[in-house]
Each structure stands twice: as structure tokens, then as C-alpha cells.
Structure 1
Amino acid sequence: MPGSLPLLPASAARRLFLGAQGLLDDPARRATAASVQGLLERLGFVQMDTINVVARAHDLTLLSRLDGYKPEHLRKLLEDRRSLFEGFTHDASAIPTAFFPHWKPRFARDRERIRAHAWWQHHFRGTDGARVVQDVKTRIEREGPLKSSDFEHPEKRGPWWGWKPQKAALDFLWRSGELMVPRREGFQKLYDLTERVLPEHHARPCPDPQEHQEWACASAAERLWVFTPKELAEFWAGIEAAEARAWCAAAAKAGRLVPVEVEGADGEVRPAFALADWEARLAKLPDPPDRTRLLCPFDPILRDRARALRRFGFDYRFEAFVPGPKRQYGYFVLPILEGDRLVGRLDPKLHRDRGLLEIKGLWWEPGVKATKARKRGLDEALERLAGFVGADEIQLP
């Protein structure tokens, strides 16, 4: 009944989410490959993206939590130690290799879904898709790791929907688990057989459906702390919402979760679930770091735009694929996190040839005043970003 459940004020829900996602820890702590591995295990994954207008998405996400983070840390974990692997969640992501067995059900699911999708018919029009896929795999078996440019095709190359058949075949074999990405060259993926990249993990059995559902829900809950069944299912994008609802009901009955009401930034109260010990976790959380940080558009706290609006009152839209004249803010806009509040956004562009970090636009949220202290905090955040990307000069609008 409304009013009969524990109520999480908006501030508490926000703090719990930031704590679960590593944004209340001291970002000045020592950064090493081991600490980056620990951070990835805590987050669950970090989304990787090709856009490089200022820095790669995964680098920005990790930098916002670890000042001393270097891309070499992530490269070492992915390519040398293989303690992370590139897989698919909602998009291409770096994922702890310990979780690899739980990608096997996804591989089987995606294999069937892709074959039945219009994507398959489009990319293999006029060709025998199964034959192209087998020919690509056979070449890699024989020659070792290859990238898309190693396969010639007369069709003009283009964006995702304009891929040549061989590139589509590589992506299909990767999404279905037959190929992995052992390394990148200039951010281009090289592909090799999974049994050669991760032999031990490839040999492990596929978890049964009940085991996979338990892992997917319990591991997502441990990284959200407060959530709806829909948010739980969408964390890994590995199970259906109905499965998450059933798991939440069973977990609440067993005392692992508690039903709660969560106040949103707009004051509206909505039902959700929380880990049974949420109050103890909240009590142990440190105060937010006294600093301003720039977040990646694909940061875990922003990926679900509706949740970001509920938790922070921050209405964010990624506009890189919106035609320029129709953009409200900019191409690759970075939200500004101050303590535990999202207070503004800015549109950066790195001019690598000039060593210039240009801020094309800066917007504070309604009701947020550009005080001297706030401007100073933003200047410090921009200096950290400039140092990371190798810019000697910052140009503000």
C-alpha cells in the first residue's frame, strides 16, 4: 500500500547510486592497472565507442573516477593480461573476463536474432551470407588475427548500415562468440578465434538458464543498490524484464531485497526494490568528493536517460547523430558533476594539431549560479581533461 513502504528521499537514492557506481570514492587515489581492474569489476563494464572528438568514451568514464588513469592501463588488461574482454552489453564494452561464461547464453541468443533481423538481409544481399561468414572464419583460422581492412570487397565502405559483407560477417562472428578481439590497431579491431584468445574460458560450460538468471539479476543489483525490475534487466541487457520481475519477487520473499518507495528529483514517489542492507550501505558512504568532474555521455549513471532525469533532474540527450542545425547543445556534450549534483554541461572539441581544447558551449542548469567557486571547480576539471588529452591551451566560449 502507498505509504506503507520505506521511503528513500531523492538525496539518499542519488547518493546510493553514485556510491554503487564508484563516484563517491576519492578520485585522487593511486591509479594502476590493478586499480582499474578493480574499478571495472565494480562497475561491471565500461562502454567503448569510436567517437574521439575529445577522448574515447571508456577513457573518459575511467578518468572521471581515477585522476591518474592512463589508456595504457586498460590496454594492458585487455591485451596482455586478458583479465578484460571486449563484448556486447548495450553496446561494445570492456568486461571482466571472469564474467565470460555468462556471455555464452547471449552468444546463442544473438546468433539467432541477427540471422532473423533485416540487418542480415541488408548486409548479405546478393550473396550467400552463410558462405561469406564461413569464408571469413576460415581465413582467420588459417592466417591468424585479421581486421576488416584485410578483406577486400568492391562495395563502397561506409557507416554501420553500409558495411561490406565481410565486415558484417566479422561482427556477426564476434557477437555470436566465435571470434574475439585480442587487440586493436589504431582503434580498429583485430579478430581471432575465441578458443585461441580465451582458451580456458571458452572451454567452460554454458550456465543453465536458472543459473544465468540468478547471476544476471544478483550482479546487477549489487551494482545499482536501488532499482526497478526493468532497470535490473537492462543493466546487462542479458535477460528479459519478466525474468527480472520474477527474480525480484523471489528475492524479496527470501529477504534479499526490500520493496521501497523512491522519491524522484521532481518529488514524485515511485515503487522500486533495494538491497536489504541499503540503510547500512547509505550510512557507510563517504561524502561526495569536493570537486567538479566531467562525465562521458555514456557514463553508467547517464546511460539510462529516464533514470538520470528521475535521480538528478537532469534531462540529457546525446546529439552526435542529430543534424547540426537541430542540436540543442552540441555534438559530444559532457555533463558536469559537482559533488552529487549534475549542475551543467559543456561541448568540447580537441584540436590535436594545435594542442587546443576548445569549449564550444557551456550551459548551467536552471537555478545554478556561476559563482566564483563553481567556475574555479570547472577550471580545475578542464585542466585535468586538458592534461589527459595533451592540450596546452583551453579556450572557453
Structure 2
Amino acid sequence: MRITKKQAVHYMLAYQNLLFPDKLQGKEGILDYMGKVGCVQYDPLDVAGYNSHLVLQSRIKQYRSEYLQELLYVERKLLDGWDKNMAIYSVQDWPYFERYRREAFERYGDTFKEMETVLNTIRKAIDTKGPLSSIDIEVDGTIDWAWAPTRIARAALESMYFWGEFIIHHKVGTRKFYDFTNKHIHHDLYLKPDPNVTMEAYFQWHVKRRIGALGLLWNRPSDAWLGIHWMKSKDRTVAIIELEKRREIIAIEVEDIDQPLYIRAEDISLFHQVINSEIEEVRASFIAPLDNLLWDRKLIKEIFGFEYTWEVYKPASERKFGYYVLPVLYGGQFVARLEPKFHKKTKTLEIVNWWWEPDILVSEELKKALLECMMEFVMYLGAAKVVLNSERNAVKDLNWLKELLEKQAQHD
């Protein structure tokens, strides 16, 4: 099956719930999206909300961060775990990551054999007082840990979390509070064995899961494959061959791309629906830096003609754009880049900078879509006002934003 790049763009965006005007609704919409893509990536930086919130606000109508918090820490339908690095995924996926927990116990268990009293002290404290963070544990001493020495209490809690004895009960900002996992995951699910008996089966499951995380993916090294433990490129190739042989994934040829891209077999109906339709109504979206859509940036450059680098860890002098920049999507095209900053104390959304992509025609339809997108972004943040950093915004056409600012001034 052969398609054009435009058709590939439309399919990826439709799959990612980023193309059509209608958005997903509420917590059920979040669960629907998570069930399709497997996980969203978590990152502790909070410039305009955490990455996971930014991913969801672009897809969920009138999104509120409370939706995700409730699904994670009240209803327990989602959980914090390791998949594509730090991530959030369905609690139903708990058994599939048993290999990771066993690996963690083998890696960290020996570290604490000589400090069993530390583990027992922590167990007793949480059993007695309920969910605690590392600063609540009164255990002295430090240990070499990750990139630097850290308190034994923190290292022990993280280890017990990695091997599955503890779960993240809730967070206050980035501060984690831990509790016993078996209190919060149903007994049958908690003890359910790994469905993937062999390593080969595990690779096939995770490769298919990653294809589903984007909607369309090729067999090339990229960040999209990060976090699949033990898998080498040859293992990925073998898994793809086996999945294609069993018709669980389908190869798609795209014009001017010299290797196939793959979709999951269960998505073929949506695929045909999108590529055989005329796309008339579209919307604008602000896309998270670690959005599922951007996990393979070489693929995005190839299909969309858009090159994006997250410059947050670059020195300021080496940045082409800004510190925390969100790509701006309109229809099937990336039209601009936005650098926002939300000041929580004053509830002010600052537009630090805005860059139009080359050769973008700023039509009335585009302005209207951007205004609607910005207004929903303001609601998601709970911002009371929006300000434009005039010193750094050397851009010509932000009339759509000025309209929002004028409405704000009238309201004030």
C-alpha cells in the first residue's frame, strides 16, 4: 500500500486526535487516548504545566490538570511507571512490566542486603503513618546513587518503588509520596504473571506498543524506541518481521521515503477512512516538547518538513529559538513556535516569544483557530491574564493575540 506524505500527515494527526475540530472529552477521553498510545511521557519541568498535561491539553476539551491527578491518585486507573523513560500508563499494564521490576530487584537488592534495617524501618514507618516521602523518613546516612550521593532513605524508597513493593501514592509538585502497592492495585492484577513468557514475545509486544504510541513508525533508530530494556536493533528487526508475518502490523509505503512505515492492524479502518477523505475543518494546537507525535523527530522532519529540537538543556547562547518552546500545529502543518511561561503567583501567562515558520500565510482562518487555541490554553492554565513580552517578540503579525489582550483589558 502506497500513500503520499500529505496522507501520512493526515493519518498521524487523526490518530493522535490532533486533526479534526472535535476534541476528546474529560477523563474518559484521557483513558481512550492512553489506551490507544500506551503511555505519555512525564517530565518534571513545569514551565506551562508538566509535559503530560501539555500532551493532554491539546487533545482533551477544556482540559484540567485535576483530571489526570484523579485518574492517577484517586481512581487508580493510571499509574506512574517506566516505559518511554518516566511515563504514565494504564494500571492494566502492570503485569507487562514485571520484567522491569525483577531487573530492578536484581540490580538494587544487593545494595540493601546489608541495610535490611533501613528497609524495615521504612516499611514500619509507612505501615504506621501512611504514605510518606523521603524527607519524612528519619534514617541517617548517604549512599552513592544515580549521578550523585543521596540520602539512604531516598535511595531505599526509589529502589522499593522500582522493584514494585511501593507505588507512588501521590505527588506534591515533584515530591513523591510512597505507599504499599498491594493497597492500591487489585489483588488479582497485582499478582498476575507477565503475559510475555519469552523475551521474544516481550520485544514483539513492546515494539507494537511503540508503533501504537505514534500511529505510524519506521524501523530506524530513534527516541521512539527508548526505554525498551535489553532490545538491540537486530531484536527490533526480528520483532517487526514476526509481527508483520502474523499480520499484527502492516507495512505502508510513503512517497520519497525509502523504507516502509508500520501501523497496527487494528488501526487499518481509521487509516482507510482518513486517507480516502477530504479534510475540511481543522484546528490549531500547542504541542508538548515530548509529545508522542514528536518522539521520532527525524520522521517528523521527513513527513512534515518540520525540524524541532528541544533546546531546554542547551546553553542560552547556543539556542536557535528558546528555553521551552512548543511547536504550533494548524491542520496538517506546523506554522509557528511558541515560548510560554506561566507565572503561578500572579496567574499570568507570558508569551516570551513567538516565531512564525517560513512562508506561512497568516490567513483569517488561521488567526481564528490560534485565538481559540490560546483561549483554551489560558483556561487550562487557569491564567487570569496574558502578556506579550514586547522586547523579545520581534514578530509582525500577532493580531489574533492582540484581540485576546484587548478582550482581557476590557474585562479588567
Indicate if the aligned counterparts of 2:208 and 2:264 stay in contact, CA closer than 8 A: no
Structure 1's 306 and 141: CA in aligned 2 closer, same or farther, altered over 3 A? farther
Local SS of the residue matching 2:259: strand
CA offsets 1:100-154 (integer angstroms, 9 cap, x no match): 10011122234445689xxx8xxx9xx9677655654454345432112213557
Cα distance in 2, alignment partners of residues 378 and 237 from structure 1:
37
- 1:336 maps to 2:328: yes
Structure 1's 274 and 360: CA in aligned 2 closer, same or farther, altered over 3 A? same
Cα distance in 2, alignment partners of residues 387 and 82 from structure 1:
26
Which one is further off, 105-114 or 241-250?
105-114
Figure out how many residues of one structure are paired with residues of the other and give that number: 379
- 1:261 maps to 2:253: yes
CA offsets 1:62-95 (integer angstroms, 9 cap, x no match): 1100122222221221122211111111222221
- Shift in Å, 1:214: 4.1
Local SS of the residue matching 1:24: coil
Cα distance in 1, alignment partners of residues 115 and 19 from structure 2:
49
- 1:171 maps to 2:179: no
After TM superposition, the structure 1 = structure 2 runs for residues 1-397 of structure 1, keeping only pairs within 5 Å, are 6-29=1-24, 31-112=25-106, 132=118, 135-137=121-123, 139-151=125-137, 161=148, 163-200=150-187, 201-207=189-195, 208-209=197-198, 210-230=200-220, 234=225, 237-238=228-229, 240=231, 241-263=233-255, 267-275=256-264, 280-285=269-274, 287=279, 289-396=281-388, 397=393
Indicate if the aligned counterparts of 1:28 and 1:68 stay in contact, CA closer than 8 A: no
Indicate if the aligned counterparts of 1:216 and 1:238 stay in contact, CA closer than 8 A: no
Which one is further off, 320-329 or 370-379?
370-379
After TM superposition, the score normalised by the length of structure 1 is 0.83
Local SS of the residue matching 1:348: strand
Structure 1's 174 and 238: CA in aligned 2 closer, same or farther, altered over 3 A? same
Q: Which residue does 1:3 correspond to in 2?
A: none
Local SS of the residue matching 2:178: strand
Matched AA of 2:16: Q
CA offsets 1:266-317 (integer angstroms, 9 cap, x no match): x443333344587643231373752211011111011232232223222212
Matched AA of 1:79: Y
CA offsets 1:236-263 (integer angstroms, 9 cap, x no match): 6256143332222123233444444334
Cα distance in 2, alignment partners of residues 131 and 331 from structure 1:
44
CA RMSD of aligned residues (A): 3.3
Cα distance in 2, alignment partners of residues 129 and 284 from structure 1:
59
Indicate if the aligned counterparts of 2:212 and 2:263 stay in contact, CA closer than 8 A: no
CA offsets 1:218-245 (integer angstroms, 9 cap, x no match): 4444444432245698276256143332
Local SS of the residue matching 2:61: coil
Cα distance in 1, alignment partners of residues 237 and 150 from structure 2:
38
Which one is further off, 365-374 or 197-206?
365-374
Matched AA of 1:339: G
Local SS of the residue matching 2:46: coil
Structure 1's 257 and 84: CA in aligned 2 closer, same or farther, altered over 3 A? closer
Structure 1's 75 and 276: CA in aligned 2 closer, same or farther, altered over 3 A? closer
Indicate if the aligned counterparts of 2:81 and 2:87 stay in contact, CA closer than 8 A: yes
Structure 1's 81 and 8: CA in aligned 2 closer, same or farther, altered over 3 A? same
Indicate if the aligned counterparts of 1:179 and 1:194 stay in contact, CA closer than 8 A: yes
Local SS of the residue matching 1:316: coil
CA offsets 1:142-196 (integer angstroms, 9 cap, x no match): 543211221355779x997464332233222222222111222344211112222
Matched AA of 2:43: D
Cα distance in 2, alignment partners of residues 288 and 179 from structure 1:
49
Cα distance in 1, alignment partners of residues 149 and 98 from structure 2:
28
Matched AA of 2:83: T
Cα distance in 2, alignment partners of residues 42 and 277 from structure 1:
10
Cα distance in 2, alignment partners of residues 235 and 25 from structure 1:
29
Matched AA of 2:133: K
Local SS of the residue matching 1:171: helix
